[in-house]
Amino acid sequence: MIVRNFEYLLALHREGHFGNAAKSCNVSQPTLSAGIKQLEEDMGVEIVRHGRRYDGLTSEGMRVLSWAQQMYDDCKGLEREISALRRGIEGKFRLGILPGTAGVAPTLSIALAEKTPLLQQSILVSGASSLLQAIRENNLDIALMHLEDIPGEDFDTHLLYRERIFLFHAARTQQPRSTTWDHVLNRQLCLL
């Protein structure tokens, strides 16, 4: 397979020695040499400077090496995706939440754990500016925040839910069913 031959070429360039490259690929030196020779025949160019020992790559070989690395990385990425489809997504998931949204976190965390049991979750509870900074620095994957705290031009936002805020107080007289913030500010308040 040509991908395996690319792996041989990458190992040879990395190790700088046919024997060490073969060892790193868990194959014999003749197998590695045959794979690289097959690659040269397939490409129609000399990739390795031939001599008694490894003497580097030709200029064409350096181009093939660049493409080999890209194709090898793509194949490994494809293998990881297929594995994830079979077993489910795995890795680390970092969620940031405001203290005021902490009540929603367990519900989301449990739902996520049920769908992706191999995912390791961590939760950071902090203020809006700290959460935004952590996302910018790639220390968080997502954050649950109030929409008004998020600068829209820098971040993708998705509305999860709307909060309804209620005012509870001991009424000595009949009160209206709805109120205004001015009315609330004239009351003695207690935060929970």
Q: Which domains does the chain have, with CATH numbers?
A: 2-86 (1.10.10.10), 91-149 (3.40.190.10)
pLDDT above 70 as % of the chain: 93
- Dmax (CA) for the chain in angstroms is 101
User: What is the length of the chain?
Assistant: 192
Among 135, 130, 121, 127, which Cα is nearest to 101's? 127
- Residue 189 confidence (pLDDT) above 70: no
Across the chain, what does the average pLDDT equal?
86
Q: Which of 148-152, 153-157, 185-189 has the lowest mean pLDDT?
A: 185-189
- Which of 19 and 183 is assigned the larger pLDDT? 19
Q: What is the pTM assigned to this prediction?
A: 0.48
Burial of 96 (0-12, 13-18, 19+ CB in 10 A): buried
| Cα 20 to Cα 14: distance, rounded to the nearest angstrom | 9
